[in-house]
Amino acid sequence: MGRYFVKRVLGTIPLLLVISFLIFMFIHLIPGDPVRNMAGREATTEELENLRESMGFNKPLYQQYFSYLNDLVHGDLGISYKTKLPVSEMMIGRLKPTLKLTFFATLWSTIVGIAIGVLSAVNRGKLIDYLGMLIAISGISIPGFWLGLVMIQIFSVKLGWVPTGGLDTWRSYILPSITLGCGIMAILARFSRSSMLDSLGEDYVRTARAKGQRERLVILRHAFRNSLVQVVTVIGLQIGGLLAGSVLIETVFTIPGLGRLLVDSLAFRDYKVVQALLLFFSFEYILINLIVDLLYGVLNPRIRLK
């Protein structure tokens, strides 16, 4: 498995190179001019030209790309046009809140989502099943943005239990984690239910029951473990999305995370930040997919990685 891992990681390098090229071209080809955003509207043509020259925007695009690539190889992500701070420093600063939030949101939504899914599957067609699926449908249907604002009104403004936003104390994590995790909980509940139902219909479950094993063991050891492969895939994809930051949740709860950074930087045409973020998100997706692949082998020994 070690060799497989190294091979896969090395395999990402050419992929990232292609991605870096695509990102660079896209961001430079869409309309917009960071120089105008930096200089403000009152800037004269001459001032704009001076700034453009000093930023190297007058050079041909391919030269700009190679200089970007050169910096990238040397671990230099550049300086943000907007804050004049190093992009790497900004990203690390923004990654922390996003990571914390992702962790808590994933934690609760995975536990609750899978629990609802399993309970619904086991009690198929019964009240618990309908209740579970009602929660799941609500979780998917309620827009996070709206839910966040309503919860702020109830729990922060009216009841005063938790802060409206920020990530200063442990209490400030509660509302954003709940809001962010709702959708994932719902998806996981649906997936684990259907995956569990599939497993429950398998021959080995019938065999286990025929052997006279206790129902709890049949469900947990045989059906549940086998149903996890699909569920893990879904969790992987969802975490990937979460790490790219949830712009809406970060905006509603005033969290300085990666998602907000990406949107703000795009609006400003802060090329260096956008390039670095998109490259990071691509890498992170590749990495998570790799971890998911490795987990398959752990969960189901029949799957061998070559």
Interacting span for other proteins (CB under 8 A) from 104-112, 159-167, 177-185, 294-302: 159-167
Q: Which of residues 31-70 bind other proteins (CB under 8 A)?
A: 31-33, 36-45, 47, 50-51, 54-55
Q: What is the CA radius of gyration of the chain?
A: 24
User: From the CB of 95, what's the least distance to other proteins, in Å?
Assistant: 11
User: From the CB of 267, what's the least distance to other proteins, in Å?
Assistant: 7
Binding-site member from 12, 123, 194, 254 for other proteins (CB under 8 A): 254
131 binds other proteins (CB under 8 A): yes
73 binds other proteins (CB under 8 A): no
Binding-site member from 252, 277, 286, 292 for other proteins (CB under 8 A): 252
- Buried-exposed string 144-169: b where 16+ CB fall within 10 A, e elsewhere: beebbeebbeebbeeeeebbbbebee
Pattern 274-293, other proteins, x by CB under 8 A: --------------------
165 binds other proteins (CB under 8 A): yes
163 binds other proteins (CB under 8 A): yes
Nearer to other proteins, 152 or 218 (CB): 152
Nearer to other proteins, 107 or 150 (CB): 150
Q: Which of residues 166-185 bind other proteins (CB under 8 A)?
A: 166
Q: CA 99 to CA 87: how far, in whole Å?
A: 18
Binding-site member from 12, 93, 128, 241 for other proteins (CB under 8 A): 93
Could you write out the three-class secondary structure of the chain?
CHHHHHHHHHHHHHHHHHHHHHHHHHHHHCCCCHHHHHHCCCCCHHHHHHHHHHHCCCCCHHHHHHHHHHHHHCCCCCECCCCCCEHHHHHHHHHHHHHHHHHHHHHHHHHHHHHHHHHHHHCCCCHHHHHHHHHHHHHHHCCHHHHHHHHHHHHHHHCCCCCCCCCCCHHHHHHHHHHHHHHHHHHHHHHHHHHHHHHHCCHHHHHHHHCCCCHHHHHHHHHHHHHHHHHHHHHHHHHHHHHCCCHHHHHHCCCCCHHHHHHHHHHHCCHHHHHHHHHHHHHHHHHHHHHHHHHHHHHCCCCCCC
Nearer to other proteins, 264 or 293 (CB): 264
Nearer to other proteins, 234 or 274 (CB): 274
User: From the CB of 270, what's the least distance to other proteins, in Å?
Assistant: 10
130 binds other proteins (CB under 8 A): yes
Q: CA 245 to CA 114: how far, in whole Å?
A: 23
Interacting span for other proteins (CB under 8 A) from 113-121, 124-132, 196-204, 226-234: 124-132
160 binds other proteins (CB under 8 A): yes
Amino acid at 151: M
Nearer to other proteins, 47 or 215 (CB): 47
Chain residues in the site for other proteins (CB under 8 A):
30-33, 36-45, 47, 50-51, 54-55, 82-85, 89-90, 93-94, 127, 130-131, 134, 149-150, 152-154, 156-160, 163-166, 251-254, 256, 260-261, 264, 267, 269
